[in-house]
Amino acid sequence: MQKQILLMLAASLSFAVMGVFVREAETTHVIWKVFFRNLVVSMLILASMHPSRWKLLLGRPHNRPKLLIRGISGTLGVLGFFIGLTYLPLANASLLNRLNPFFVALFSFFLLSQTLNLKQVISMILAFTGAVFIINPGGSYQLLPSLAALGSAAFAALAYTVIRMLGDGEDPRAIMIYFAGISCISAVPFLVIFQPVLDPTELWALLGIGVFAGLGQALLTMAYRGGHAATISVFGYSTVVFAGILGFFIYDETGSAEFFIGASFVAVSLLILYIRRGNRETS
């Protein structure tokens, strides 16, 4: 278990560093950032397989509609998250993006007919109360990037719910390539419209986005192997801590009072949610 926790912490650090590179590519349109993020991931997936087995990436015929939904929702999720990282303090964007477990509970209720118990309802109310404080509509942060970051959590949750609907019968690489592939293909028309002037700094930042996103995804996958999902997933929230540290030292970002109040609400809601999950997994 200790190895899996270290892998999750390393994955969280990789995603936080990716956020720095998203910010550093400040003059490049967000579509290019999404494109490079998933182009590298696509290349890593293809490189991990012999070409004769690439046909497996098409997925099973009856699963392809769900795979398309997973790819589209994942793409919209990354787009919203990158908008948040570009315009908000790194910790704010990261924490709003990490609210996806509460949206997963909602989608599971509506799409999978799973029941919501009182603890889940209370945890969701606390989490979304915290989100209101973090977004701080009347404060200095931009409302639309905050809503984009929150929306990224909802789209990511929809993607995770669809993955649960797929079950264990689909190759995980097919699930990943639909996400990465749809992101790249859908971005192409916009790449023509928003053509950047790529100086060496911007190019390195775009490559950094792809490399650290791919590294984080690989470490995340390894972390979930051999460990309890509920226990491991809690350490995924260390991304917010790493993002806050990087934001402080690189961009002189300091959390507002509203952020810390909102983060406290989210922490309590997570405690309620994950204690329940952890007890259920070990029972």
Tell me the C-alpha distance between 260 and 264, whole Å.
6
Per-residue pLDDT, 112: 84
Position 33 pLDDT exceeds 90: yes
How many residues appear in the chain? 283
- Cβ within 8 Å of residue 254, ≥6 positions away: 248
Of 17-31, 152-166, 181-195, 226-240, minimum mean pLDDT range: 226-240
Per-residue pLDDT, 283: 47
Count the neighbouring beta carbons within 10 Å of the beta carbon of residue 144. 10
Position 151 pLDDT exceeds 70: yes
